[in-house]
Amino acid sequence: MKRTIFDADHEAFRDTVRTFCEKEIAPHHDEWEKVGIVPREIWEKAGALGLLGFMMPEEYGGGGVDDFRYNAILTEEITRIGASGIGFVIQTDLVSGYLLSYASDEQKARWLPKFCTGETITAIAMTEPGTGSDLQGIKTSAVLDGDEYVINGSKTFITNGINADLVLVVCQTDPSAGAMGFSLIAVERGAEGFERGRNLDKIGLKAQDTAELFFDNVRVPKENLIGEPGQGFIYLMEKLPQERLSISVVAAAACRRVIDMTVDYVKERKAFGKPIGSFQNSRFTLATLETEARIAQVFVDESITQLNAKQLTVDDAAMGKWWTTELQKKTVDQCLQLHGGYGYMSEYPISKAYLDTRIQTIYGGTTEIMKEIIGRGMGL
Amino acid sequence: MKRTIFDADHEAFRDTVRTFCEKEIAPHHDEWEKVGIVPREIWEKAGALGLLGFMMPEEYGGGGVDDFRYNAILTEEITRIGASGIGFVIQTDLVSGYLLSYASDEQKARWLPKFCTGETITAIAMTEPGTGSDLQGIKTSAVLDGDEYVINGSKTFITNGINADLVLVVCQTDPSAGAMGFSLIAVERGAEGFERGRNLDKIGLKAQDTAELFFDNVRVPKENLIGEPGQGFIYLMEKLPQERLSISVVAAAACRRVIDMTVDYVKERKAFGKPIGSFQNSRFTLATLETEARIAQVFVDESITQLNAKQLTVDDAAMGKWWTTELQKKTVDQCLQLHGGYGYMSEYPISKAYLDTRIQTIYGGTTEIMKEIIGRGMGL
Amino acid sequence: MKRTIFDADHEAFRDTVRTFCEKEIAPHHDEWEKVGIVPREIWEKAGALGLLGFMMPEEYGGGGVDDFRYNAILTEEITRIGASGIGFVIQTDLVSGYLLSYASDEQKARWLPKFCTGETITAIAMTEPGTGSDLQGIKTSAVLDGDEYVINGSKTFITNGINADLVLVVCQTDPSAGAMGFSLIAVERGAEGFERGRNLDKIGLKAQDTAELFFDNVRVPKENLIGEPGQGFIYLMEKLPQERLSISVVAAAACRRVIDMTVDYVKERKAFGKPIGSFQNSRFTLATLETEARIAQVFVDESITQLNAKQLTVDDAAMGKWWTTELQKKTVDQCLQLHGGYGYMSEYPISKAYLDTRIQTIYGGTTEIMKEIIGRGMGL
Amino acid sequence: MKRTIFDADHEAFRDTVRTFCEKEIAPHHDEWEKVGIVPREIWEKAGALGLLGFMMPEEYGGGGVDDFRYNAILTEEITRIGASGIGFVIQTDLVSGYLLSYASDEQKARWLPKFCTGETITAIAMTEPGTGSDLQGIKTSAVLDGDEYVINGSKTFITNGINADLVLVVCQTDPSAGAMGFSLIAVERGAEGFERGRNLDKIGLKAQDTAELFFDNVRVPKENLIGEPGQGFIYLMEKLPQERLSISVVAAAACRRVIDMTVDYVKERKAFGKPIGSFQNSRFTLATLETEARIAQVFVDESITQLNAKQLTVDDAAMGKWWTTELQKKTVDQCLQLHGGYGYMSEYPISKAYLDTRIQTIYGGTTEIMKEIIGRGMGL
Ligand SMILES: Cc1cc2nc3c(=O)[nH]c(=O)nc-3n(C[C@H](O)[C@H](O)[C@H](O)COP(=O)(O)OP(=O)(O)OC[C@H]3O[C@@H](n4cnc5c(N)ncnc54)[C@H](O)[C@@H]3O)c2cc1C
Ligand SMILES: Cc1cc2nc3c(=O)[nH]c(=O)nc-3n(C[C@H](O)[C@H](O)[C@H](O)COP(=O)(O)OP(=O)(O)OC[C@H]3O[C@@H](n4cnc5c(N)ncnc54)[C@H](O)[C@@H]3O)c2cc1C
Ligand SMILES: Cc1cc2nc3c(=O)[nH]c(=O)nc-3n(C[C@H](O)[C@H](O)[C@H](O)COP(=O)(O)OP(=O)(O)OC[C@H]3O[C@@H](n4cnc5c(N)ncnc54)[C@H](O)[C@@H]3O)c2cc1C
Ligand SMILES: Cc1cc2nc3c(=O)[nH]c(=O)nc-3n(C[C@H](O)[C@H](O)[C@H](O)COP(=O)(O)OP(=O)(O)OC[C@H]3O[C@@H](n4cnc5c(N)ncnc54)[C@H](O)[C@@H]3O)c2cc1C
């Protein structure tokens, strides 16, 4: 199914991104996987090209473009080269949303310029050791003390956790207010009492720094509160659809990539005197995966269109999130199988894809939580 | 996911169709299931409302509208009331295509007026007892003898087989020409030697007349040849995508219907003191089905858009066909399960839906044949 | 996997049963499907051969054999010919258990002789219109009035409901006692106020009489109480494993049957110049089904062995029940697909198998209820 | 389902093995994963306890026990602690079979004593870079030159490839003889021209040395031929069922392990104020996996019984192989999901299980090749 959502400007942007990915990322990514983190410079190079701030107002150094198709293109191209360590998406698709919608002008002036240049790397910290799916279980507290919030608690599994200069932390600010007792507070690198744990050792995403964050009486000016106090969950509910769509964009692009890679492989590799792609089982497997990859892409594209029109619902985003990521998991698994023993070897890109994929159905809200949301939307 | 492909004209047409379905079909369909056929009058009533010929040129009594969204609406509304016996789709979505594209002006003048009024009911006969998936195995022969074709052979599983007045028969006209040896020839009710077998007893589609057709030295004027001799397969390849999309439209609409029906049921029915819809397993099952139904609908709608733009490829149509019908099968099966013992009782509409559904992955090209086509398109 | 649980005596019994099935049932079953019930005579013929009472003590005319392998053979042979209307299993595998374990000597003397000859046909009535999965929701009440129980309420979906002479009815005898407030009471044909509803119209099992039963102040002597009052649920818990194993025996045998039937079909039927069984997809599908059918059979056979050793647990029986019946459903569905259009035609046995199969995951405890039981057993 | 195949002697052996695993392997395995290989000493310790040669004749230092239940116990216990680096199974379940059945007395005297003590570590080399599934594509040649075979070619993916002292190499000895042109030849450590490639970097099995082997004019005495020339494939066909059963034993034991681990986890971990194991979706998921794990175990146990009775067929072994390993894959995947984000962290054993599992459906004959074999056995 031919994609129809992009026009010439988007394609030009895609070219820029693709060149950047191939020149600046692809040759180094293996190395970054070994050290477990990407260098800050790659952020600055991306910033210089306008890849990090295109959605930000021009007055702060951004591109002033409110069109999620650009976000999608950036994500797709990074996924296309398997650069799973690059955490731009947190900045462009998640943190950007909170800052754009809820940050004050003063905050924007303070943070956005370096956000756009890539000098400031961001993260968003919701999950805690004791609670992930159930955000209402968050225990990290922020207590207003004079002009400052005093933050105590810890977060875990935070993407860009080591590199991040500015972290949006979901804190409990009013334990008595239930769902209305949470707020979004920005904590900056260097704040006293703000420590990072180790860079967590994961199945995949080897170049992505995922870390624990500790807050021990961290004091931040009350001007670091994003938006209104007590509105944290409202903001999350409003922005999570965009985060989930981001993950769907990755999923669809990853399906595309591994299918293409596998089609190439099965045309080359021979067994019993024939390309293994010529066995009917291989053909049917790949025809099935191709079908579902296209169906996923059409849904993702329509979701992008609806997001742009401010019409993407929480339910539809949840649907796309679980379905495309489960598909990605199935796709990568079956493509690996078609590689035979080689699929299990680290030097084959399909094996890395396998490792990177497994988290997709978990973060950003697990498949199960997505189904909870959808079921609720159906009145069940 | 809100559907976005329809405008006000379409909605007006939908209203007309819905009223027609509810007034003229719904109250009688059970009865028609018992007798195994729908009365010819329902065709004429539909014709009178313009439901059968909207895609035909106005000069022949048609509506002059070349927009598959109308076809989709007609199919969706019929499916919405479970009226599986109504074979309009053969006329509006299949036969219409061949006549519009390949019939001569003389043929159009001869056949279209009554096609539009519903006085002429049509069918298309490809399948034979000995061959279904493999159309190149067709043995029904048509030999030119003077000004007439002499047809011998038999066809089976022909929808509208009993009611049909005009049957497009795929015949072998040149056994030595391989794939280029097949032609489309129209056979009219009453032609000598043209007999119908019994109305076949099927698992479902109880009101739909599916029959064998026998041709014993049937002579038809050579003016009954549709298009060029030897082009039969080219025509089929050109028109089958539209047929397959029709089936996908049914599938998506059927999913919608049974999910809605089941959501209602599980909200009412109680066990262990709670609505059965409140058990997490029920919620997750329905959330899964709802997700996939919406994804299917988005793909179908995009396919309709692309068909209208003459861009729907053979592969994309094949993808939609197998995927949506397999989904329909799964959906109906799981919805039946949620009905418990009542799901197995004929009086519950879910049980009829179960019976009607099973053919969807078979006719119009089986799931396996669709995957063959797709695999071929991928170069495998 | 060669089966190893049978010895020569079992094989001899199998021969008897097979001959009986082929001579007395197979030629008439189609006719019985039309009338919706099997004649009482078939029960008496089976009784005369010892097929109904082999598990009963010899003093009451039974065979005195406590070995579930005989039950399995009877069920397997009936399934082998697709005789889904024959409700012997209710008598031999379900009711037999309650009578053997809990009936008094007086009751045995009263009921068993004709039970063995087939003059008395039995049923067990748990399900009610308002409650199926949740047996604790049973509302049919039995109130002791002098020497009689007065029964009020209704039951539904009762197998052998029309033919049955002796019905074991689960009644609420003490609404205040919770799970300990239910008892098993036998109601005999002819009791005043005991009416049967219509023979329910179902998707399949067309020759099996499934009916509603109504109890309007039905008075039965208190000697019709089976076992102790208030012990009804204890008895059910004790006997349901055997019922569930019965259903698994059917499932395994049905898989065997439809795979064999389909292997034959795909070896004969040709497409593209080759038997359709030779396409790799067909081969892999059938290899998958054959694998799972054998695995199911091994599990069923081991379950039979453990039942005979009084070691089959509630959990293991629940596991076998859901797994083998879900497998049967999948197997029949995929075998139908391999029949192409013919699979949808009533005259092909695969189509009848499809219709008969759908209830298997529902009655005897739905798949969902089985998983509840198993999960509970795991401490979840 | 209680397992019934073991008696007291087996249980005693299990105790020995378990103690050995817990004392000698478990504390070091993480370390071995880091270095990518297990130390030779662990083989010698196992040998000293009789764990490597129990199936060998006593005259050569073995235990003289021909009972595959012991092999199963060894494998189960190693799997129970997740010690995927231990390659004993190659020695005890694969190489043992070839030596026992086809080695001459002279060969036995030469090799078995150190095989039993663990001083000699063995491997079997079939796969080549160019061919895995299709063993007839093997190109490594052995040409008889005087009293020696001269071997040329290369093998890949050889388990124990670095540690092995004695490698059974499948060679083409007669290119003109088709399937009868392959022989089994033993190559010993130190043979000139016999080189090992690097220890391959894999997704999992991190402590298992898997390597390429190169043969460049390697000369071995013709006394190193195992059995008869040209019989290599016959031998493989005869012994592969046992190898496949070994893999099924691992699969069943791995399912057991990860389910137990996950049940513990979900009872502890809380979300929304409840153990996550208490959500119905978690319960149903685990009930499903538990069911299938037990069914798999029953099939594996029956296969062991039939292997002991020399009745396990090629087909049944193939069925068990693909089914249990596919189940293992599904089980580990779903158990990981139930761990949420922690499932993706290397420190959680479920994550290592995930990595180790992926090869199971590939080596020892892929799922696809198993289905080919089964389909052939069905005459398709
Ligand atoms: C690599 C990585 C990067 C991440 N990046 C970030 C980040 O940048 N910022 C951030 O805030 N977080 C991040 N996360 C955290 C992630 O969002 C959480 O791991 C995820 O939301 C799941 O939470 P959990 O791990 O606590 O699982 P749990 O909540 O403990 O869930 C465990 C299991 O229980 C299931 N479950 C929970 N509730 C229910 C229910 N009601 N019904 C049925 N099943 C249920 C879950 O679906 C899951 O299968 C990241 C995680 C990883 C691994
Ligand atoms: C209710 C009903 C209505 C119908 N209406 C019409 C109609 O109006 N006009 C008309 O012409 N036809 C009609 N058909 C026929 C229908 O299109 C055919 O039944 C269908 O195409 C399959 O053909 P077959 O039945 O001959 O199956 P076969 O071709 O015999 O196929 C049997 C099985 O083999 C599989 N198979 C075949 N080839 C391959 C391959 N290469 N690789 C793998 N698997 C393969 C198939 O997928 C199928 O599972 C109708 C059928 C039914 C049941
Ligand atoms: C042909 C036929 C023969 C039968 N024969 C007999 C007979 O001889 N005697 C007899 O007593 N009964 C008989 N039955 C009844 C049968 O046992 C019940 O239909 C069955 O137990 C399901 O009950 P229900 O129909 O009330 O479904 P419900 O209990 O209403 O269940 C509806 C749906 O909800 C699901 N559900 C229920 N509770 C839960 C839960 N806690 N969590 C998740 N899902 C849940 C069910 O699994 C099902 O999918 C027969 C039924 C049929 C159709
Ligand atoms: C960790 C590890 C350990 C191993 N240990 C050993 C060992 O000790 N000794 C040894 O000899 N080998 C060993 N192997 C090799 C292993 O047995 C092979 O990798 C396996 O048999 C598959 O062969 P292949 O990798 O060449 O895949 P290929 O044969 O190239 O297969 C690729 C894909 O094509 C599919 N395919 C092939 N033919 C068909 C067909 N006819 N129809 C449909 N699909 C088909 C396959 O199923 C697979 O999905 C090991 C491999 C690994 C990864």
Residue D3 lies in a domain: no
pLDDT at residue A177, rounded to an integer: 96
Residue B179 and residue B298 in one domain: no
Residues in chain B: 380
Residue B253 and residue B285 in one domain: yes
In a 13 Å sphere around the CA of B13, the CA atoms on its Cβ side amount to 22
Residue A36 and residue A100 in one domain: yes
Q: Identify whether the C-beta of residue A61 lies closer than 8 Å to the C-beta of residue A116.
A: yes
- Cα angle D233, D234, D239 (rounded to 5 degrees) comes to 95
Query: CA-to-CA distance for A313 and A311, rounded, in angstroms?
Result: 6
Cβ-defined contact of D272 to A346 (cutoff 8 Å): no
Between the alpha carbon of residue B147 and those of residues B216, B220, B222, the distances in Å are 18, 8, 5
Domain end marker among A179, A196, A230: A230
Cβ-defined contact of A279 to C281 (cutoff 8 Å): no
Residue D241 and residue D370 in one domain: yes
Residue A112 and residue A29 in one domain: yes
Tell me, what's the ipTM? Answer: 0.97
* Tokens coding B364: 């119009």
Flag whether pLDDT at A213 surpasses 90: yes
Residue B86 and residue B18 in one domain: yes
Nearest CA in chain D to B280: D280
Average pLDDT for B44-68:
97
Instruction: Nearest by CB to D203, from A351, A361, A363: name it.
Output: A351
Residues of B in contact with D288 (CB under 8 A): none
- CATH assignment of the domain containing B42: 1.10.540.10
Domain end marker among D230, D248, D272: D230
- CATH assignment of the domain containing A148: 2.40.110.10
Query: CA-to-CA distance for A374 and B283, rounded, in angstroms?
Result: 8
- CATH assignment of the domain containing B343: 1.20.140.10
- Cα angle B267, B271, B273 (rounded to 5 degrees) comes to 90
Residues of D in contact with C288 (CB under 8 A): 371
Residues in chain C: 380
pLDDT at residue C227, rounded to an integer: 98
C321-367 pLDDT tens trace:
999 999 999 999 999 999 999 999 999 999 999 999 999 999 999 99
Query: CA-to-CA distance for D105 and C59, rounded, in angstroms?
Result: 65
In a 13 Å sphere around the CA of A227, the CA atoms on its Cβ side amount to 20
B172-186 pLDDT tens trace:
999 999 999 999 999
Q: How many angstroms separate the first and last alpha carbons of chain A?
A: 34
Helix (H, G, I), strand (E, B) or coil at A80: helix
Average pLDDT, chain D: 97
Cβ-defined contact of A295 to B299 (cutoff 8 Å): yes
Catalytically annotated residue among C33, C128, C212, C243: C243
Q: How confident is the model at residue B68 (pLDDT cuts 50, 70, 90)?
A: very high
Q: How confident is the model at residue B210 (pLDDT cuts 50, 70, 90)?
A: very high
Q: Identify whether the C-beta of residue D25 lies closer than 8 Å to the C-beta of residue D78.
A: yes
Q: How confident is the model at residue B195 (pLDDT cuts 50, 70, 90)?
A: very high
Rg for chain A, CA atoms, rounded: 21
Residue A261 lies in a domain: yes
* Tokens coding D13: 């052996």
Q: Of all atoms in ligand 2, which is nearest to the CA of residue B369?
A: 47
Domain end marker among B196, B230, B264: B230
Residue B152 and residue B73 in one domain: no
DSSP run (H or E) holding A198: strand A194-199
Residue C190 lies in a domain: yes
Residue D346 and residue D360 in one domain: yes
Average pLDDT for D15-21:
98
Residue D81 lies in a domain: yes
Instruction: Quote the percentage of chain A above a pLDDT of 90.
Output: 99
Q: Of all atoms in ligand 2, which is nearest to the CA of residue C270?
A: 30
Q: Where are the alpha helices (DSSP H) in chain D?
A: 8-20, 29-35, 40-48, 68-80, 88-89, 96-102, 105-117, 232-268, 280-308, 314-338, 349-357, 367-377
- B288 C-alpha to center of ligand 1: Å? 19
* Dihedral sign (CA A272, A275, A278, A279): positive
* Tokens coding B234: 């080219």
- A270 C-alpha to center of ligand 4: Å? 12
Residue A3 lies in a domain: no
Residues in chain D: 380
Residues of C in contact with D2 (CB under 8 A): 306, 311
Active site residues of B: 243
Q: Identify whether the C-beta of residue C200 lies closer than 8 Å to the C-beta of residue C241.
A: no
| Chain C: closest CA distance from residue A280 (Å) | 6
Question: Which residues are CB-neighbours of B191 under 8 A, at least 6 positions away?
Answer: B218, B219, B220
Query: CA-to-CA distance for C212 and C209, rounded, in angstroms?
Result: 10
Flag whether pLDDT at D275 surpasses 90: yes
Q: Identify whether the C-beta of residue A33 lies closer than 8 Å to the C-beta of residue A84.
A: no
Flag whether pLDDT at B94 surpasses 90: yes
Cβ-defined contact of A361 to D337 (cutoff 8 Å): yes
Question: Which residues are CB-neighbours of D269 under 8 A, at least 6 positions away?
Answer: D275, D276, D277, D339, D340
Strand stretches in chain B, DSSP E: 122-125, 141-145, 148-159, 166-172, 182-188, 194-199, 210-221, 225-226, 270-271, 274-275
Residue A2 lies in a domain: no
Q: Is C243 labeled as catalytic in the residue annotation? A: yes
Query: CA-to-CA distance for A201 and D243, rounded, in angstroms?
Result: 34
Q: Identify whether the C-beta of residue D276 lies closer than 8 Å to the C-beta of residue D338.
A: yes
Residues of C in contact with D266 (CB under 8 A): 380
Residue C226 and residue C237 in one domain: no
Query: CA-to-CA distance for D212 and D215, rounded, in angstroms?
Result: 10
Helix (H, G, I), strand (E, B) or coil at A215: strand
Between the alpha carbon of residue C370 and those of residues B269, C170, C311, D280, the distances in Å are 19, 20, 18, 13
Between strands B166-172 and B210-221, the pairing is unpaired
Residue B315 lies in a domain: yes
Task: Name which residue sits closest to atom 42 of ligand 3, judged by CA.
Answer: B279
C115-141 pLDDT tens trace:
999 999 999 999 999 999 999 999 999
pLDDT at residue C1, rounded to an integer: 86
Instruction: Quote the percentage of chain B above a pLDDT of 90.
Output: 99
Nearest CA in chain A to C279: A280
Q: Which domain holds residue A290?
A: 233-377
pLDDT at residue D1, rounded to an integer: 86
Residue B135 and residue B114 in one domain: no
Kindly identify the ligand whose nearest atom is closest to the C-alpha of B366.
Answer: 2
Query: CA-to-CA distance for B10 and B67, rounded, in angstroms?
Result: 10
Say which residue the tokens 């194991």 belong to: D277
Residue B251 and residue B343 in one domain: yes
Q: How confident is the model at residue B56 (pLDDT cuts 50, 70, 90)?
A: very high
* Tokens coding A127: 């999950």
Q: Which phi and psi (to 5°) does residue A187 adopt?
A: -120, 130
pLDDT at residue B1, rounded to an integer: 86
Q: Identify whether the C-beta of residue B61 lies closer than 8 Å to the C-beta of residue B116.
A: yes
Kindly identify the ligand whose nearest atom is closest to the C-alpha of C95.
Answer: 3
Say which residue the tokens 């020759």 belong to: C207
Nearest CA in chain B to C279: B368
CB atoms within 10 A of CB B15: 12
- C317 C-alpha to center of ligand 1: Å? 35
Cβ-defined contact of D284 to B279 (cutoff 8 Å): no
Average pLDDT, chain A: 97
The total number of structural domains in chain C stands at 3
Residue D322 lies in a domain: yes
Query: CA-to-CA distance for D248 and C313, rounded, in angstroms?
Result: 25
pLDDT at residue B101, rounded to an integer: 97
Query: CA-to-CA distance for C366 and C368, rounded, in angstroms?
Result: 5
Whether ligand 4 lies within 6 angstroms of the CB of A334 is answered as: no
Average pLDDT, chain B: 97
Query: CA-to-CA distance for D122 and B159, rounded, in angstroms?
Result: 66
Average pLDDT for A303-314:
97
Q: Which phi and psi (to 5°) does residue A12 adopt?
A: -65, -45
Task: Name which residue sits closest to atom 25 of ligand 1, judged by CA.
Answer: D341
Residue C189 and residue C239 in one domain: no
Q: Where are the alpha helices (DSSP H) in D81-135?
A: 88-89, 96-102, 105-117
